[in-house]
Chain A
Amino acid sequence: MVLSVRRRIADTARAEPDRTALVGFGTDLGQQVMSWREFADRVADAADALGAALDRRTRSCAVVLAGNTLPAAIGIAAALTAEVPVFPLNPGTPPAERDALLGLLGRRFGHGYLMDAQLRPQRMDLPAGPEPPAAAEGPGQLNTVAYLLATGASTGIPKISARPGPLRYDPARTPSVVIRQAGWRSGQRQLIVGPLYHAAPFSAFLDALLDSNTVVLQPFFSAQWTVELVRRYAIEWLQLTPAHMREILRLPDPDPAGFASLRAMLHTAARCDADTKRGWIDLLGPERVFELYGATEGIGVTLVRGDEWLARPGTVGRGFLTQIRILDDAGHPIPPGTTGTVFMRTPQRIGRSDYVNGRAIRTTLDGFATVGDHGRLDRDGYLYLEPRDHDTINVGGEKVDPDEVEAALRDHPAVIDAVAVAVPHQTLGSVVAAHIVLRPGASVRKAELAAHCGRRLAGYKIPKHFTFVDQVPRSAAGKIQRWRLAPYHQNGATPP
Chain B
Amino acid sequence: MVTLPEISEALSAHPGVRRAETAIVRHDDRDVAIAAVEPTGYVSGLILRNHVRRELGEDSGLAGVLIVEHMPMTDGAVDVEYLASAVAEGRCILFEDPRDDVERRVAAIWSAQMDLRSVGVNDDFLELGGDSLSALGIIAAIETEFGRPLDVYEFMSAANVRRLAEILR
Contact = CB atoms under 8 A, between A and B. Distances in A.
A173 B133 contact: yes
B138 to A, nearest CB: 12
Given A347-B131, A352-B41, A323 B126 contact: yes
A173 B132 contact: yes
Contact of A321 (B45, B127, B135): B135
A399 to B, nearest CB: 27
A224 B81 CA distance: 68
B42 A351 contact: yes
Nearest to A318: B153
Interface stretch (A25-33, A149-157, A361-369): A361-369
B88 interface: no
A365 B153 contact: no
A177 B151 CA distance: 13
Contacts of B153: 318, 320, 381
What does DSSP make chain A's interface, helix, strand, loop or mixed? loop
Contact of B132 (A176, A319, A367): A176
Contacts of A366: 44-45, 67, 127
Contacts of B157: 318, 381
Contacts of B131: 347-348
B41 A320 contact: no
A246 interface: no
B132 A352 contact: no
Interface in B69-90: 69
A321 B41 contact: no
Contacts of A474: none
Interface string B133-169: 1011000000000000000110011010000000000
> Which of B42, B45, B133 has the most CB atoms of chain A within a 10 A radius of its CB?
B42
A413 B136 CA distance: 61
Contacts of A322: 156
Interface string A331-351: 000000000000001111101
A172 interface: yes
B130 interface: yes
Interface in A433-459: none
Contacts of B132: 173, 176-177, 321, 347
B13 interface: no
Interface string A378-395: 000100000000000000
Contact of B133 (A172, A181, A318, A367): A172
B68 interface: yes
Given A347-B126, A363-B42, A367-B44, A321 B156 contact: yes
> Which of A176, A323, A346, A363 has the most CB atoms of chain B within a 10 A radius of its CB?
A323
A286 B124 CA distance: 34
Nearest to B43: A367
A345 B159 CA distance: 12
Given A363-B42, A366-B44, 14 more contacts: A176-B132, A177-B136, A181-B152, A318-B153, A318-B157, A321-B152, A349-B126, A351-B42, A365-B39, A365-B67, A365-B69, A366-B127, A367-B127, A381-B157
Closest 7 CB pairs of A and B: A347-B131, A177-B132, A365-B67, A318-B153, A172-B133, A321-B132, A367-B42
15 contacts: A177-B132, A181-B152, A322-B156, A323-B156, A323-B159, A345-B126, A347-B126, A349-B42, A351-B42, A352-B42, A363-B42, A365-B67, A365-B68, A366-B45, A367-B126
